[in-house]
Structure 1
Amino acid sequence: METKTFIPLMIPDIRQEDIDSVTEVLQSGMLIQGKKVEALEQQIAAYLGVKHAIAVSNGTATLHLALLVSGIGPGDEVIVPALSYIATANVVELVGATPVFVDVEAGSFNIDPQLIEQQITSKTKAIIPVHEFGLACNMIEINRIAQKYGLVIIEDAACALGAKQAAVFAGTSGHIGSFSFHPRKAITSGEGGLIVTNDYETARQLRILRNHGIEYQDGKMNFVSAGFNYRMTDIQAALVLSQFQRFNDILSYKQTLAEVYFSALQQSELRLPHVPEGHTHTWQSFHVLVPENTSRDALIGILKEHGIGVNLGAQCMPNETFYQEKYGLNSEKLFPNAFKANQKGLVLPLYERLNESDVQRICDTLKQVLHA
């Protein structure tokens, strides 16, 4: 078999200008949360059209803090999609609340709004809709439900900076929105996250909690809460700030690669992603479902042998060991779409350092292996 260059699932596109931006911070001697973090917060807030943005150490920290400032704790229930990265449910557990799982739509992989109301009880305090794989949720309907029952909305937009439903950015129509700068995202700080809100008091509390509970009063440091060390460093902020200058170009290019996938795979046996009308996708992942008679795990191994780095998608969270042992839910019966997406889901490479011929090679190899 001809030896070809291995195509990884993801490689961040770190350019010389990004390195130079980090070097500038290193040479300054001011490495922790400072002017670069403040600049990042201002630029993302302006881009999204929100009043406050708070940068923190990672995407999980954004959700943890959001739950805490929303007053959610023991005895409360929080509605989450059954399909997401495990952190979405873990943070609910970490504040002592109970995650209540709701199945996702078969086409979008986002939480199904039609199934939410039947899971609301007197204990329900919040909904965490996840904009899965970079596709904006149906926030119009989710907001309607939340307003009807007086629920807090914490949007998990970890994968979806720049995604929209109509003209509204993912992460901006709920009470709090959270984003991640993990290396698999369009722009990265290595580890890092950002929380957005339009509420001044929420933003104030978030800033206090991320920094050991410190609030500056009359220029003096005052510990007003038992907070965390969830700060982002200026090194991280400089790295992501530099990439943010070309962010719109990044999203445009990822859309181009997604279109190559659609064109090349439309006649295949795979179930391709669905983008509902009026929604935009940032393509953090190109997630497909393999045929029923195909072993997804075996396919991953074969594709890697052919030089294509692929992986499974998100977790069916109630089916993971911790949640099975604690709640014992029948995921295949209760959350069939999430269960199938987890068992048959396959994520294909989609990032800036790929070119269209790389994507074509991925598609040709995939179709060849499936046919065989």
Structure 2
Amino acid sequence: MTIPLSSPDITQSEIEAVTAVLRTSRLSLGPQMEAFEDVLGEYVGVPHAIAVSSGTAGLHLCIKALGIGEGDEVIVPSFTFIAAANAIRYERAQPVFVDIDAESLNMSPSCIEQVITPKTRAILVVHTFGRPAEMAAIMDIASRHHLLVIEDACEAIGATYQGRKAGSFGDAAVFAFYPNKQITTGEGGMVVTRQPELAMHIRALRNQGRYDSVDWLQHAEVGYNYRLSEINCALGLAQLKRIEPILQQRERVAREYQKALANISGLILPATDIPDIRISWFVYVVRLDDSFTEKDRDSIVATLTGVGIGCGRYFAPIHLQPSYAAWRNIASLPVTEAQASRTIALPFFNRITEDEIAQVRDTLRNALLQIQNK
């Protein structure tokens, strides 16, 4: 791609941090991991943080450690990355898909109450595209119905809702650091929680079911190899030291896009200024208005990629995926399906230039005009 969809922001300080680890004899479960956990927990405002091999692994460990299993139901949006629902199914629990709000693209609190049953154990909240969900309403629902809350904050590090960081509301939360995220560890994630016993359990599960207080070859329960290496943690720690400038830069890019695309007919742009909310810009997603079809959207995506401009369908609804065929006819999600059919994620990364944004704008405008003039 001439202009990629995403690109990690790696500086010399990150390179030096990684190479310093390679000069030591400790490449796993060492001081870099401990420091990364401490700094991330302090940043979010939560006392316990556990580094794991991916955001998906973190979600799985939350489901497992909270005792959610076969016969239980977990409410989750379909408009999100498939890992959120997969983690529920790993433990043979049932994802119950809920519709989204057409403006925020986050799960709709009013829809949550409609699907609660005696089998419901938890709400898995996703902060979509780095915009916090309506946590006051969701936490109220959870409290009244005695439900657990897991925050999928994989796209939302640094986002705030009513002055609190995303990831600080639920029983547990998960962040992810894949290369397309705001900060990266290459591969990796982090679970955070206020509950010390839950944190201890998740630490054991990520390391083959081994608790810190026992012998290395003593395993209290079936666990997993969900550890994150010292190399990854060193990279993450160095990135985390730059988190505020990174978030500010990404916000600047989002505002540059807003200016560039403001006068293009047929586009719905994401909100940038929302009372009591700070967006952590993970991606920049535009929507076509309702005069366009899904076929039109796919044609525009093909035009952009055909000239080397990376873009994506963020997100294809989970309940319409082949691996979720059993849910296709039981999930009534009209808003999800309508909005997902018209979304386009445009190239978005820290160091994208004004000239590249202008190239995206011109190509997108021309593609729209071709369809409108047919």
Deviation, structure 1 residue 219: 7.1
Three-state SS of the structure 2 residue aligned to 1:40 is helix
- Report the equivalent of 1:284: 282
State the Cα RMSD in Å.
Answer: 1.5
Matched residue count: 365
Cα deviations by residue, 1:159-189 (Å, 9 ceiling, x for unpaired):
0000111101111101101000011101111
Three-state SS of the structure 2 residue aligned to 1:236 is helix
Q: Distance in 2 between matches of 1:262 and 1:108?
A: 16
Query: What are structure 1's unaligned runs of at least 5 residues?
Result: none
| 1:293 maps to 2:289 | no
Cα deviations by residue, 1:81-116 (Å, 9 ceiling, x for unpaired):
121000111111110111000001111110001111
Deviation, structure 1 residue 345: 1.0
Three-state SS of the structure 1 residue aligned to 2:341 is helix
Deviation, structure 1 residue 330: 6.1
- Report the equivalent of 1:176: 172
Cα deviations by residue, 1:207-228 (Å, 9 ceiling, x for unpaired):
0100011113277663212111
| 1:48 maps to 2:41 | no
Write out the 4+ residue segments of structure 1 that deviate beyond 4 Å after TM superposition: 218-221
Percent of residue pairs identical: 39
Three-state SS of the structure 2 residue aligned to 1:289 is strand
Task: For 1:289, give the aligned amino acid.
Answer: R
Task: For 1:89, give the aligned amino acid.
Answer: A
- Report the equivalent of 1:154: 150
- Report the equivalent of 1:343: 341
Residues 238-247 or 228-237, more deviating? 238-247
- Report the equivalent of 2:324: 323
Deviation, structure 1 residue 344: 1.4
Cα deviations by residue, 1:108-156 (Å, 9 ceiling, x for unpaired):
1100011110100000000001001111111010000000000000000
Cα deviations by residue, 1:328-354 (Å, 9 ceiling, x for unpaired):
3266xx212211232211001111121
| 1:273 maps to 2:284 | no
- Report the equivalent of 1:29: 25
Give the 3 Å change call, closer, same or farther, for CA 28–320 of structure 1 in structure 2: same
Q: 1:121 aligns with which of 117, 121, 143?
A: 117
Three-state SS of the structure 1 residue aligned to 2:10 is coil
Residues 239-248 or 150-159, more deviating? 239-248
Q: Distance in 2 between matches of 1:24 and 1:169?
A: 31
Give the 3 Å change call, closer, same or farther, for CA 148–25 of structure 1 in structure 2: same
Task: For 1:150, give the aligned amino acid.
Answer: H
Task: For 1:311, give the aligned amino acid.
Answer: G
Cα deviations by residue, 1:282-310 (Å, 9 ceiling, x for unpaired):
11011111244351121111112333211
Cα deviations by residue, 1:34-65 (Å, 9 ceiling, x for unpaired):
11111000000111111100000000001000
Cα deviations by residue, 1:175-208 (Å, 9 ceiling, x for unpaired):
1010000111011111100000011101010101
Q: Distance in 2 between matches of 1:272 and 1:21?
A: 38
Q: 1:355 aligns with which of 345, 353, 356?
A: 353
Q: Distance in 1 between matches of 2:181 and 2:235?
A: 13
Q: 2:288 touches 2:343 (CA, 8 Å); kept in 1?
A: yes
Three-state SS of the structure 2 residue aligned to 1:362 is helix
Q: Distance in 1 between matches of 2:323 and 2:215?
A: 46
Task: For 2:180, give the aligned amino acid.
Answer: R
Q: Distance in 1 between matches of 2:126 and 2:15?
A: 32
Q: Distance in 2 between matches of 1:316 and 1:277?
A: 28
Task: For 1:293, give the aligned amino acid.
Answer: F
Task: For 2:282, give the aligned amino acid.
Answer: Q
Which TM-score applies when normalising by structure 1?
A: 0.95
Three-state SS of the structure 1 residue aligned to 2:212 is strand
Q: 1:260 touches 1:360 (CA, 8 Å); kept in 2?
A: no
Q: Distance in 1 between matches of 2:144 and 2:156?
A: 26
Q: 1:216 touches 1:222 (CA, 8 Å); kept in 2?
A: no
- Report the equivalent of 1:210: 206
1:1-372 paired onto structure 2 within 5 Å: 6-217=2-213, 222-268=218-264, 269-274=266-271, 276-291=274-289, 292-293=291-292, 295-324=296-325, 326-329=326-329, 334-372=332-370
Query: What are structure 2's unaligned runs of at least 5 residues?
Result: none
Q: Distance in 1 between matches of 2:249 and 2:39?
A: 21
Q: 2:107 touches 2:126 (CA, 8 Å); kept in 1?
A: yes
Q: 2:204 touches 2:212 (CA, 8 Å); kept in 1?
A: no
Residues 284-293 or 105-114, more deviating? 284-293
Q: 2:55 touches 2:175 (CA, 8 Å); kept in 1?
A: yes
Q: Distance in 2 between matches of 1:62 and 1:56?
A: 6
Task: For 2:329, give the aligned amino acid.
Answer: L
Q: 2:210 touches 2:216 (CA, 8 Å); kept in 1?
A: no
Q: 1:289 touches 1:345 (CA, 8 Å); kept in 2?
A: yes
Q: 2:292 touches 2:342 (CA, 8 Å); kept in 1?
A: no
Q: 2:284 touches 2:346 (CA, 8 Å); kept in 1?
A: yes
